[in-house]
Amino acid sequence: MIRLIVLFILLLLVLWAGKGILEDLRALLEGGRRKDRRTSLSDELVRDPVCGVYCPKSSAYKLKYKGHTYYFCSEKCREDFLRSS
């Protein structure tokens, strides 16, 4: 029974590693970069003025309004901000 559990865990690890390798190969063949949603450690966090959630500046929704730049976690928060202003 223990052998089956160990084999199952090893199979999951191989599949997980293989998925990343296949994504990299596919990106190489398409001539682009692998799409990675993880943020770098140096990415600055900004606070959404509507809901208060912090999100990476590089993936935040940006709005220039009355001389200020605002960052939002989602399009919905951006729209709520515009409606309330």
Shared domain for 49 and 76, answered yes or no, is yes
Same domain for 30 and 51: no
pTM above 0.75, yes or no: no
> Does residue 31 share a domain with residue 12?
yes
Domains contained in the chain, number: 2
Say whether both 55 and 24 belong to one domain.
Answer: no
* Closest residue by Cα to residue 60 from 70, 50, 68: 70
Residue 53's domain comprises 45-84
Count of beta carbons in the 10 Å neighbourhood of residue 41: 5
Q: Are 54 and 45 in contact (CB under 8 A)?
A: yes
pLDDT tens profile 19-46 = 887 787 787 777 655 555 555 566 789 9
Q: What is the pLDDT of residues 51-74, one digit of tens each?
A: 999 999 988 999 999 999 999 999
| Pair (56, 28) in one structural domain | no
Q: Residue 62: CB partners within 8 Å, gap ≥ 6?
A: 69, 70, 71, 72
- Residue 12 pLDDT greater than 90, yes or no: no
